[in-house]
């Protein structure tokens, strides 16, 4: 057989395709699990939460599962939103392990809604595993329509006040309200955060190596805890991608990256360079309004400056996505509000207070600080 007939031989090409898909794992865009997978799909988190009240009228319903699903099984029959009389029309999408129901119109005010996920939802195993039972929960809307973009979905990263891949350093004494964790670096990389500084929170490690000041009553480093913090770090990365991937900004290159002394309304902001805060910045909006700041460079906040919230604005709805090569530097005796999603480090200088979350894909550095996770 000549070279030309070999080149077009269908048997050879079929064998090559099998080899290529086995090497790349691309036989299914959702990466089919092993055939011996017998774990049923389960719900890990959901928004709005069960029994939540005063939910704004222009938000989607999101559900995080423990595994990737068969997309065809997520449809208007298996994932429904009802006002008690009619099912709500909308679109269903799926990214990684999170399903989103986006209503076609704003929800009704002061209405009890029911979300139902049925056992028709299956995974990609062979044979497929179905949800073991229907999952049903309820929430009540209020009357508000939120301004600004939809909040960034933090998933389980939102369970932490501080989260890092390469460690949390600290000059005592700080005061931390909320859980902290680091992974994949050893838990010893958090040794200078002491249990006496954790005000009711827990330190989660990727191993059992944390020693702290000698007291380790606030530390969890068993296998289940290793998995918990590892998953939170993965979710931190997804949240960063979510924030960085938002399009159609309301404000681009505002004030050339120097927002010192300015008042900012809810919205999506984008800068192609760094962001400077030399004097107080005010974020003015309602309790349900959202700010997302996309910063390609670093954030530098000066000593004794503050981020001030006005009109009911809340730290939980403020997101600072920072892609710079250094990260975030917050000055001495300053005050910061919001959730930081940094590709690099976060440094909080002496006696500064933070209300929010410090989520870094490298290290977080503290120096006699007060870090308080935001109220939900």
Say yes or no: 166 and 17 in one domain: no
Residues 148-206 pLDDT 10s: 999 998 989 999 999 999 999 999 999 999 999 999 999 999 999 999 999 999 999 99
Q: What is the pLDDT of residues 310-348, one digit of tens each?
A: 999 999 999 999 999 999 999 999 999 999 999 999 999
pLDDT (tens digit, 9 = 90+) per residue, 270-300?
A: 999 999 999 999 999 999 999 999 999 999 9
pLDDT value for 242? 93
Whether 1 shows a pLDDT value over 90: the answer reads no
Q: Which of 31-35, 109-113, 127-131, 171-175 has the lowest mean pLDDT?
A: 31-35
Using CB atoms within 10 A of its CB, is residue 204 exposed (0-12), middle (13-18) or buried (19+)?
Answer: buried
Q: What is the end-to-end Cα distance of the chain in Å, rounded? A: 71
Helix (H) or strand (E) holding 181: strand 179-182
> In the predicted model, is pLDDT for residue 25 greater than 70?
no
In a domain, 38, yes or no: no
Question: What per-residue confidence (pLDDT) applies to 23?
Answer: 36
- The mean of the pLDDT values for the chain is 91
Average pLDDT score over residue span 27-48: 72
Q: Name the domain count of the chain.
A: 3
Residues 272 and 294 in one domain: yes
Residue 40: what pLDDT? 96
Band of the pLDDT at 6, cuts 50, 70, 90?
Answer: very low
Residue 374, preceding bond cis, omega within 30 degrees?
no
Average pLDDT, integer, range 97-118: 95
Q: Is residue 323 part of a domain?
A: yes
Question: ∠ CA(181), CA(185), CA(191), 5° rounding?
Answer: 60
Same domain, 322 and 225: yes
State whether 103 and 190 are in the same domain: no
Q: Are residues 275 and 297 in the same domain?
A: yes
pLDDT band at 35 (very low <50, low <70, confident <90, very high): low
User: Which of 96, 118, 141 delimits the end of a domain?
Assistant: 141
Same domain, 176 and 243: yes
pLDDT band at 78; cut points 50, 70, 90: very high
Within-domain flag for 146: no
pLDDT bucket at 33, cuts 50 / 70 / 90: low
pLDDT digits (tens, 9 = 90+) for 362-376: 999 999 999 999 987
Facing residues of 277 across strands?
A: 301
Residue 148 lies inside a defined structural domain of this protein = no
Domain hosting 83: range is 43-141
Do 119 and 248 fall within a single domain?
no
| pLDDT value for 47 | 87
Which one of 141, 175, 209 terminates a domain? Answer: 141
Q: Per-residue pLDDT for 10 more than 50?
A: no
69 and 15, same structural domain?
A: no
Residue 228 lies in a domain: yes
* CA 22 – CA 191 distance, rounded (Å): 43
Residue 167: per-residue pLDDT:
98
Asked whether residue 284 is domain-assigned, the answer is yes
Residue 34 inside a domain? The answer is no
pLDDT above 70 (res 22):
no
Let me know whether 125 and 80 are in one domain: yes
Q: What is the mean pLDDT of residues 43-55?
A: 92
Nearest alpha-carbon partner for 250 in 298, 300, 290, 299: 290
User: 290 is written with which tokens?
Assistant: 């959202």
What pairs with residue 356 in β-bridges?
Answer: 338
Q: Is there a single domain that holds both residue 348 and residue 259? A: yes
Shared domain check, 188 and 258:
yes
Strand, helix or coil for residue 231: helix
pLDDT of residue 16: 40
| Residue 12: pLDDT over 60 | no
Write the pLDDT tens digit of every residue in 249-273.
Answer: 999 999 999 999 999 999 999 999 9
Predicted structure pTM score = 0.78
Domain assignment of residue 342, yes or no: yes
């Amino acid at each position: 057989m000549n070279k030309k007939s070999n080149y077009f031989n269908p048997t050879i090409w079929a064998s090559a395709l099998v080899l290529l898909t086995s090497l790349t794992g691309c036989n299914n865009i959702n990466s089919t699990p092993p055939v011996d997978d017998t774990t049923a799909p389960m719900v890990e988190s959901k928004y709005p939460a069960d029994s939540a009240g005063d939910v704004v009228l222009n938000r989607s319903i999101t559900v995080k599962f423990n595994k990737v699903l068969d997309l065809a099984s997520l449809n208007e029959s298996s994932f429904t939103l009802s006002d008690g009389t009619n099912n709500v029309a909308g679109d269903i999408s799926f990214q990684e392990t999170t399903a989103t129901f986006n209503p076609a119109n704003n929800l009704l005010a002061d209405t009890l809604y029911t979300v139902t996920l049925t056992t028709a939802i299956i995974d990609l195993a062979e044979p497929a595993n179905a949800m073991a039972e229907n999952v049903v929960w309820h929430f009540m809307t209020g009357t508000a329509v939120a301004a600004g973009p939809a909040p960034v979905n933090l998933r389980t990263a939102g369970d932490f006040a501080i989260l890092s891949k390469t460690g949390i350093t600290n000059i005592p004494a700080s005061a931390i309200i909320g859980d902290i964790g680091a992974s994949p670096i050893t838990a010893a990389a958090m040794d200078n955060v002491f249990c006496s500084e954790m005000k009711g929170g827990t330190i989660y490690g990727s191993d059992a190596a944390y020693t702290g000041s000698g007291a380790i009553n606030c530390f969890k480093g068993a296998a289940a805890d290793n998995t918990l913090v590892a998953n939170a770090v993965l979710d931190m990365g997804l949240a960063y991608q979510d924030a960085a991937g938002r399009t159609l900004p309301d404000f681009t290159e505002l004030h050339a990256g120097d927002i010192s002394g300015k008042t900012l309304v809810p919205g999506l902001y984008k800068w192609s360079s760094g962001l400077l805060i030399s004097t107080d910045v005010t974020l003015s909006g309602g309790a349900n309004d959202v700010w997302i700041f996309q910063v390609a460079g670093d954030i530098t906040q000066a000593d004794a400056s503050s981020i001030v919230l006005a009109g009911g604005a809340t730290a939980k709805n403020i997101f600072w996505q920072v892609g710079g090569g250094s990260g975030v530097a917050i000055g001495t005796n300053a005050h910061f509000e919001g959730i930081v999603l940094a590709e690099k480090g976060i440094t909080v200088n002496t006696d500064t207070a933070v209300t929010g979350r410090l989520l870094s894909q490298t290290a977080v550095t503290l120096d006699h600080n007060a870090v308080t996770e935001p109220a939900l």
